[in-house]
Structure formats: C-alpha cells, structure tokens
A and B are shown apart, each in its own frame.
Chain A
C-alpha cells in the first residue's frame, strides 16, 4: 500500500456519532463498489478521443479555449448531442462491475481508504469543471454585451436561451460576480477540509444553472447535472453529520479518517499533482482568459469591419432589377434596416423568415467562421460575413447560416452617414441600396448616463 491511514480509535458514543469509520454495513459496501466504478468512469478520462484532443493542442501556443474544452470531458458512447443514455451505460457497467467485485471481496470490512481516494478524484474533476466556467465569467467572456444587430432585433425574435445570454451580457459586473462564486466553489474543493463548504456553494449555484438550462432550453443541462451529481456525492460525506448537529441538535463526531503520507516520494507526488493542477487550471488558465478578455474574446468575430461604418442604417432607397420598391413592413424582398458591426459582419432586417442557428452549447473557437454567437438563437435578421477589398471598394458577403446566399456589392460613401451599395445579389438580381445612418440611442445605455428616476424622453 502506498500510503497508510490512521483511524482514530472507535469511541463508545451513545449513538451520537453520525458516521465513524468502522465496519461498514453490507448495503453500504455494495453501494460503494457501484459508486466507485461509476464515478471513476465518469471522472477519469478513459476515452481515446480525449487524448486525441490532448495531442491536437498546440502546447507551445496554448489558448484558454484548449483548457476550457479539456475541462468539459465526459465519456460518450453515443455520437451526436449528449444524452442520458451515456450515463445509463456507465451505470450498467458499474452495477455489473460492483457485483463481480463484491463476489471477490467478501471479507472486506470497509472501504475508507478507497472512499477517500474516490473523493479526491471527484473533487479535482469537479473543481476543473467549475474553474473552467468560472474564469470565462469572471472575465466576462461567456456572455459579451449584445451586438448592434442584437440590440436592433425584436425581443420575440430571440430564443429563450439567447435572451438569457443577452440579459447577462448587459451587466458584465454581475457576470464577474457569478464567476467569482463559481471560482470560490472550485478553489475550496482543492482542500479536503473545505470540500463540504464548497458543496454548499456549488449545489445551489449549479442547481440554478441546471434549472436555467432546462427552463431556457440551453444545451448544457446534462453537463450541469453531471456537476451537481458530483457535488452531491461529495456532500453526502458530511450530510448525516450536519443533519445530526443542526436539525436533530445532537453532539456530533467529525470525520475521523485522514490519510497520512509516510513515504517521501508519495508526499512529493501529492504536492506535484496538486501544484500541476493549480498551475494548469488556475494560473495558466486564469492568465490566458484574462489576456483573452483584453485581446481575443471568443464570441464575436475579430476581423475588423469597414472602417467607421459601425451603426444602424435606414434603407432609404432600394432598387431591385431597376424597380424602386417603396417602404413596406411586409415586403418579402425589400430590406428594412441594415447594421454594420465593428467587425466584418453586416446584418439585414427583412421579412422572409431567417434560418435560425440554434446552437446553444458553449464553444470557444478562434476561427471567425465558427463563431456563431451573434446569430445564434436569433431570427428577424440575416447575418452576413464579408470580405472587404478597399482597392476596388467591394464587399463580398456570405450568409453566415446559409452559405449559398452570397452577394457582391460595390460601395461608395459620399458622406460620413451614407453608404451606397450596388451589385449583384441572390440569383443574379441587380441591386442598388442607399443606406442612411440612424442616430440610434439605446435606452439602457442612455439611462445609465442619467439614472432612471424621474421623467425621461426617448
């Protein structure tokens, strides 16, 4: 055995002891064997795909996205979106394994040692999960402020999940606070004696995340439930003791089991592992996400857009194949308004229903083409990324959801508030569009300047 443990003497206690190490009851042993196999499979990366991911990372140029993706490891037997079926298979393996193990291990009186190590595995797995999400909230990256296009989309044209993200995006301080809570929970898990305190933070917090995922139809309800199950497993260790002391009001003995590391190399290995974990998930990841917040946040594209064009534009004139179309809120072809973002995205409000990108799972991508936050869960507008050629004054637009929808438009800018576009659109239609910038003021930003008490005009 690599480490020894001291069991404090079993004490006669008049039934007041919540749980002291001694001989375990048979059902406790059966449950433990199943739980052990179950949680080891769920927490220790056994999947070859995980290692493929590890080897694909450019370790010399590590990004916070790489660490984030690694932190979300969950064993998958089935491809496609995450399902509970993966859990069912693991449970089945655990039950079968538990029975076999039980037959071979009949004389075993307790699993205190193993229980301790299982808790170590679960603690670190859970800590990685929380810290990964904690930092991208603490440095408000996960939900950025709404884009101009988002601000100019009707409330009802968003999915519930997108509205949840946008509502968080408008208050970066609150997002940091939520990140701080997650980080506190994660960091407290790294110390054995503060683990239960950590679970008192994590269970309500992640419980809320889970319920939010269900209510807002987010894509991460299974993963957040996974984190809750890990936290509940850790909490179970002290649950009886807490109930005994607080609810029943009885004197209570603490946890009696502590590993004592006697061999030097074990001591060193422990420190090395802990150090490596903290270095990787706290120091490096924390620094990288901090730098990311300043230089390369991941939700919006980074390629700069047409210089000094960002804003909302009224479509003053719209000529299709030589015909001028009048303003109409219901015209299936005519554009209603256009937004130029700071980056190379242009979005058009028009009547035909936009195909909706329904992505609702967090992904950190450093490739502009795969950053879909601005259009995800949003109808009402058509989103185009564009290539900009300043020499020929041309914009080559490609629809971000439907790549077959392309436009090539020549632009001219007679004054600072006007952009004239002409060229060919879908199915070789000729197009001429006159855009006039609107001095649009957004209520929540205006109110922040003067406060919302009293009369206000907009």
Chain B
C-alpha cells in the first residue's frame, strides 16, 4: 500500500528520481493497485463492523427524527441525534452472560462482522473478475466513520464550550466535606469549578470534530480525538464515571481513521524516507457534487450553527444539569439554624443529633438544602440525562453524602408557602449511570406507573387555589428557551416517584432571618428559625455562570 522510496544513501538517488517524477498523480497509481488477499478479507470484515458501529441501532432514534418539531427544538433533541447507541444488540448485550463492562456489544458486532465478511469473501471468489481492491469503498467507509465521530464529539463539545455539562457547585455542594463525595462527583466538580477550562476542553472536542469533516485534516482531527478521548476513557475508569464505553467508542473510531496514515507518518518521520500519499478520491458527477454539498451544508447547518444557538440558549436560560426556575429572591443564601422545634419541643444544636437541622441553604434556583446527622439512602448516579422538570435535575444531590437533604420547592409567594419535595426519589429513575446500565422497570412497576399509582397521596397535596397562585412551572423560564420538548414533558403525567414532602410557611422581612413552620416529611410539625450567614469560601467564585435567576 505504501509508495515509498528508500533514500538513505546517495547512490540510490538518481534511479529514484528518473523513474518516478514527483508530479505523478497519486490517484492514478493507487487506483489500479491490487490489494493482497488478506487485506481484502480484513477490509470486508472491517467494513461491516464499522458500518454497524456507526449507524443508530434503535428504532426510537429514527422515529424521534420524524417526530421533532423542527421549529421549536431543544438543544437535547439535536444532542440526541448525535448521541445514539450503535453496534448489533439484537443478540442481546451480554456475552456468556456477562456485559463485559459494557463492551460485549462490540465483541458481538465483531463476531457478526467476521461472519458476514467471510461470506462476502466467498461471494467475491465466485465473481469474475474479482475486485482488485476496495479503494472506493474504503473511501466511503472513512466518510461514514469521519462523520459519525465528528457529529458525536461535537454534540459533547458544545455542552463544554458553553459550560453546562459540569456545573459550578451549588452552595449545598460547597458546604459538603471533600470526603463525602463519590469519585465520579469529585472529578466532575473539579472541572465544574473552572468553567474556562471546560470551555477549553469544549474547544478541543469541537476542533477535533470539525477537522474530521474535511478529508485533508482528518488525520489531525483523529490524533486530537484519540488523545482527548483516550484520556477521558482513563478518567472514566479511574473515577468510575460510567461512560467509559461511549468514550472508548470515539477512541476506536479515531484509531480506525489513523490506520491509513500512520505507516506513512512512520515512514517519513521515523524512518526518514521519501513518502508519497496514496489518497484516492471518488469522482463526482455534477449531481453527485450537489448532493455532497447539500449533505455537508446540512450537517454544518444543524450540528455547528443551529446546535450552537440551541446550546447557547440552554446555557443562558435553562442549563440542563441545574434547575432553571429562579428561587424566591429574598430567601437565597447560607443559613445557620438558630432555633429548631419539633412537635413544639426545642432541640439544641448538636452535631450528633439525628433530628435537628444543622445548616440550610436556599440556592439561586428552587432548592432548599439542610443537613441532618442521620444516614439516608443516596443517589449515586451522575445527575445527567435531560429532565425538563426541575425536580428531576439532581446534580446538586447525586454522589453526595454528609447528611445533606435536597428539596425542590414550588413557592406560593402570596400565601408564603413552600411546597417541597425531596429530590431523592426512592427507586426513581437513575439517569446518570449510562443508558446501558439503567435498570429496566419491572412490568408491575410499569403499569403502576402508567396508572399514576406510585404514590397515591401525592395527587392533591397542593390545593387548586395554591396551584393557580404558583402558576405554570413550565412557563417560569425565559420565553426564548421554551421548546416543544419542554411542553411535552410538562404535559405528560409526571412520574409518581416515592418522595418525601413538606409544606412549610415562611416569614421573613429581608431574608436575614427566615422562620419556617409547618409539616415535615414525617408529618411532624416543625418550627425553624434561620439566620443568614455570610460564609466566605476560599474557592473563587465562578466567572462564567449558567442560567438566569435574577
């Protein structure tokens, strides 16, 4: 395959130069070349394998494509087009009963590709004349892989370029001890605290993706992709991040794209020999050219221009990992729990008490957190996914211990009442651990869910009058960020997860002292006096803030 000329000693030079002038078109040389038999067989297997690995494998992906309201897209719609499962999973996702850490699908696909490739080899044997090479097909296979990898990594890149993937920690997280996080949380927070670094990582991923869209810069893009995602694979294993399969997917695609040029690089740089490229490009008819331009233009328009706009809107008004609704303004901040009564009995502060609140925060958005020294079940997913409702946006809760309780509230600001629900849902959807690992709900649970019976008492806990005063949560964000996806989720019957609930009245002048009273999650009456504390942090404030809360 390599057109190389040894140039190591002076005696070889004249021969070389006379016999092969440098202006010979590489295309002409490569086109007629005959591939050895083993190379053709390997190619057939690789072709089937990488095509199977590059196209979406679920029917939902295709139906979703036709069901979008293209005029009112949400950033996640386009992101989901870019992020799909692939590979053969019709034989299941386990091999000998083991998911092999999520890689079983790859191996199954490879086995299937080998079988198909060998059958194809058999058919080719019967053909006359046999194809000398697969240069054209190789070109198109690389096109498919290039675009798959490019589109996929751009989907990721934008959530970093406009930093929403790893949010700056909320007050509740800032107040949590370092030893009370999971490894996964530690890593994500460590990127979240430096939004400009996240922007940089986004630039790298985006650059890799864009470079893959042009054949001349493919190698450079693939090197960048391999380096960046190779590190992310290791990060996912080290920190138990849960997306090692999807990140190694990009490494696999990048490695494939590098196969073509690596021997040439080696030849030129390490062996220091004359090297000629053997790029074979297809010839396009006029119509072919237009189709090519149209496709390229479409991909650029959707995944670079429009996705950028959608992600910008998301960052600005609806950052998907943190709640989008602004919290009650006077309440925000860190609070010392000065007084705490439960069923009219005062409990003095003690770090070891298992009932009393120790410290509370009202975030910029609709979240109240407080600390109680009592073990509780934890959500150890990564708080990802794309919930439209604030109650499902759990990043401030997931992977975090230390007795911290996190409640989402709906505020009736006229009657001064907070309707609070625990962000932790018993047996709730754990979106983060990766779609592969998401446990399927049992049939009984499914039908129960469909009937809305998960938590019967949940139904009418907010009166109609209060609901009217609170308003429509769907419309509480900036109108620019309205989307069909949001409408759809708010219109759907909400999941009836088992959640703790509280109804608390609040009284305050300016927020420096807040008195909460009402019924807590155990139906006990509580009375809590909160005094705002100016708590300085060593960690510098974020200079790039997602969301709109003022």
Contacts and interface: CB of A to CB of B under 8 A. Distances in A.
Interface string A362-387: 00000000000000011110000000
Nearest to A441: B401
A220 to B, nearest CB: 15
Nearest to B426: A455
B277 A146 contact: no
A167 B194 CA distance: 13
Interface in A245-260: 245-255, 258
Interface in A152-184: 152-160, 163-164, 166-167, 170-171, 173-174, 177
A356 B539 CA distance: 12
Contact of B196 (A9, A170, A177, A215): A215
A15 B197 CA distance: 42
A455 B194 contact: no
Interface of A: 6, 8-9, 11-16, 146, 150-160, 163-164, 166-167, 170-171, 173-174, 177, 193-194, 196-197, 200, 204, 211-212, 214-217, 238, 241-242, 245-255, 258, 314, 326-330, 336-337, 353, 356, 377-380, 440, 442-444, 447-448, 452-453, 455-458
Interface string B278-299: 0100000000000000000000
Contacts of A330: 336, 533
Given A152-B179, A249-B279, A444-B183, 15 more contacts: A6-B10, A155-B178, A155-B181, A159-B539, A167-B189, A204-B227, A245-B264, A251-B26, A254-B275, A314-B351, A329-B349, A378-B538, A443-B402, A453-B380, A458-B375
Interface string B19-59: 00111001000000000000000000000000000000000
B432 to A, nearest CB: 10
Q: Which residue, B217, B265, B400, has most C-beta atoms of chain A within 10 A?
A: B265
Contact of B175 (A156, A245, A458): A156
B415 interface: no
Nearest to B376: A457
B357 to A, nearest CB: 11
B227 A444 contact: no
A194 B270 CA distance: 6
A327 B235 contact: no
| B: contact size bracket | 35 or more
Given A154-B174, A251-B22, A329-B336, A246 B220 contact: yes
Contacts of A163: 189-190, 193, 539
A344 B401 CA distance: 29
Contacts of A152: 177-179
A252 B377 contact: no
Given A216-B197, A329-B349, A378-B538, A150 B178 contact: yes
B46 to A, nearest CB: 21
Nearest to B224: A204
B238 interface: yes
B13 interface: yes
A245 B178 contact: no
Given A193-B270, A457-B377, A337 B351 contact: yes
A23 to B, nearest CB: 19
A356 B538 contact: yes
B458 interface: no
A379 B336 contact: no
A447 B169 contact: no
Q: Which residue, B17, B22, B189, B261, has most C-beta atoms of chain A within 10 A?
A: B22
A444 B13 contact: no
A452 B376 CA distance: 15
Contacts of A171: 183, 238-239
Given A173-B238, A216-B194, A327-B351, A254 B272 contact: yes
A248 to B, nearest CB: 7
Contacts of B350: 327
Interface in B158-176: 169, 173-176
A455 B537 contact: no
Contacts of A159: 538-540
Contacts of A455: 377-378, 427
A9 B13 contact: yes
Contact of A314 (B181, B220, B224, B352): B352
Interface string B235-261: 100111000000000000000000001
B274 A156 contact: no
B536 interface: yes
Contacts of B196: 214-215
Contacts of B358: 329
Contact of A456 (B23, B187, B359, B380): B380
Contacts of A336: 351
B539 A158 contact: yes
A155 to B, nearest CB: 5
B52 to A, nearest CB: 28
A254 B269 contact: yes
Nearest to A181: B231
B273 interface: yes
B197 A8 contact: no
A444 to B, nearest CB: 5
A173 B235 CA distance: 10
6 contacts: A6-B10, A151-B177, A154-B178, A155-B178, A241-B269, A336-B351
A329 B348 contact: no
Contacts of B322: none
Nearest to A337: B351
B193 to A, nearest CB: 5
B238 A447 contact: no
Contact of B274 (A160, A193, A251, A442): A251
Contacts of A254: 7, 268-269, 271-275
B540 A160 contact: yes
Given A9-B10, A197-B269, A252-B275, A164 B190 contact: yes
Nearest to A217: B540
Contacts of A196: 269
A250 B239 contact: no
A90 B270 CA distance: 33
A314 B349 CA distance: 14
A246 B219 contact: yes
Given A447-B182, A452-B240, A252 B200 contact: no
A439 to B, nearest CB: 11
Contacts of A157: 537-539
A249 B277 contact: yes
Contact of B223 (A200, A238, A326, A377): A200
B375 A457 contact: yes
A170 B180 CA distance: 13
A299 to B, nearest CB: 16
A197 B190 contact: no
A155 B351 contact: no
A212 B272 contact: no
A119 to B, nearest CB: 14
